Structure 1
Amino acid sequence: MNLYKNLNDQELAVLLKKGNEAAFHEIYERYKGILHMHAYKKLVDFEEAKDLVQELFGALWDKRDDLPETVNFSGYLYNSVRNRVFNIYAHKKVAAGYITSFQEFNREASYITDERVRENELAKQIEAEITALPERMREVFLLSRKEHLSHKEIAERLDISEFTVKNHIKKALKTLRFRLGLFAYLLFLIKYYFLK
């Protein structure tokens, strides 16, 4: 092993390229600590820096045939660490973007779901109050609001006066306003008068 300690980086790189495990071990021992510190300064995470260096040396051995001819082997190793750090940063940025996007989607979906639940509950409450109206009043009201018949058309269909139709609708609206409360009543008006 002493023989390899006396070799310079370029000589070790040539031997590594030929598959010499002892040369690889010497490079590993020579650079693992300093590369780990270099990675740690950039990542500020001891374990992440350690993993990066282990992966770098694993890739160095696996791809030893493709090692470039270089005069500055230590520079090659530092650049490899730097590139891996950039890849980690890029991955974290993409992951953070996905997380942010997912959180925004969840908030929007939750808001939409809550809004639909409240809207459905309000619609059920409105329908229940309409159903609770006296039979003739309900009939007149539904012909007016759901079938969009005029007072005259309702009067003719039910064989009652237009004045009676007008009174039924007026009383139905007053009853609904009282039972639903102002906010729900306004939503009801918007739904049945302005969105139809």
Structure 2
Amino acid sequence: MLLSKKDDIDLWNAVRNDDLSAFNELFARYWDRLYKVAFQRLQDENTSLEIVHDIFLSLWTRRETLVINKVPNFLLTSVRYQLYSRQKAAKLSIAYKADLFDTSEFAEQNAGEMRIQNIELQKQLDEYLHKLPERCQEIFLLSRMHHLSNLEIAERLGVSKKTVENNIAIALKYLRLTFQKTGSLMLLLLLHAIK
């Protein structure tokens, strides 16, 4: 039964006293207007229905604590708030997706830059290695780049294991000093990584 003769404040006071029929009357009076406001802004039927549903659900669940002086003003403000909240959430979602895209683009760019840096570091290392005696270069490369043991290098080159150890020590010391002088932190780190 609709209480159509009661004004909005009387209906609201009845709702506050758990009168479901008064709630249904407010719903019947304002549902269509609230839906039209939401739909006009969103052009989305489902979301507009959700908004109106959420407003009336909130109205019912918070009926004991809400203070409403003008029901239409309160309901229209609620619609505007819901629209704003959803619009803000959508913008954040779009921004978040854009950030994810930007991050992956950055990661690709970063990987490319890292490859270029590695190539440049390798060139610089090769340049410094060429300043070492030929045998010292050969032993260092077999040890650090080809990962042969000192014994394997000694057997391959026909030298003693001690000679291999001494040449590796000479190469490492030279490279460390050279990298420290040139201020090439990356090369110094690379050198430590290939010990």
Give the aligned residue type for 2:58: A
Q: Does 1:35 align with 2:64?
A: no
Give the aligned residue type for 1:89: Q
Question: Aligned equivalents of 1:98 and 1:40: distance in 2?
Answer: 26
Aligned partner of 1:96 in structure 2 is 94
Distance change (3 Å), C-alpha of 1:16 and 1:90: same
Q: Does 1:57 align with 2:56?
A: yes
Matching of residues 60-71 of structure 1 within 5 Å: 60-70=59-69
Q: CA deviation at 1:68?
A: 1.5
Question: Aligned equivalents of 1:116 and 1:52: distance in 2?
Answer: 49
Question: Aligned equivalents of 2:97 and 2:25: distance in 1?
Answer: 42
What do residues 143-167 of structure 1 show as CA deviations (whole Å, max 9, x unaligned)? Answer: 8x83667xxxxxxxxxxxxxxxxxx
Paired positions, count:
151
Question: Aligned equivalents of 1:113 and 1:62: distance in 2?
Answer: 53
Where does structure 2 lack aligned partners over 5 or more consecutive residues?
139-170, 185-195
Kept in 1: contact 2:68–2:74 (CA 8 A): no
What do residues 44-70 of structure 1 show as CA deviations (whole Å, max 9, x unaligned)? Answer: 222111111111110000001123141
Q: Does 1:146 align with 2:145?
A: no
Aligned partner of 1:155 in structure 2 is none
Give the aligned residue type for 1:60: L
Identity over the aligned pairs, expressed in percent? 22
What is the CA RMSD across the aligned residues, in angstroms?
3.5
Q: CA deviation at 1:10?
A: 1.8
| Residue among 111, 120, 124 paired with 1:113 | 111
**Does the residue aligned with 1:66 lie in a helix, a strand or coil?**
coil
Aligned partner of 2:149 in structure 1 is none
Q: CA deviation at 1:30?
A: 1.8
What do residues 90-149 of structure 1 show as CA deviations (whole Å, max 9, x unaligned)? Answer: 222333332323322221122112332454467678879979xx954845xx68x83667
Q: Does 1:23 align with 2:52?
A: no
Distance change (3 Å), C-alpha of 1:148 and 1:64: closer
TM-score (norm 2): 0.61
Q: Which moved more, 1:38-47 or 1:20-29?
A: 38-47
Aligned partner of 2:167 in structure 1 is none
Question: Aligned equivalents of 1:124 and 1:47: distance in 2?
Answer: 60
Where does structure 1 lack aligned partners over 5 or more consecutive residues?
150-190
**Does the residue aligned with 1:146 lie in a helix, a strand or coil?**
helix
TM-score (norm 1): 0.61
Question: Aligned equivalents of 1:65 and 1:82: distance in 2?
Answer: 23
**Does the residue aligned with 2:64 lie in a helix, a strand or coil?**
helix
Give the aligned residue type for 1:93: K
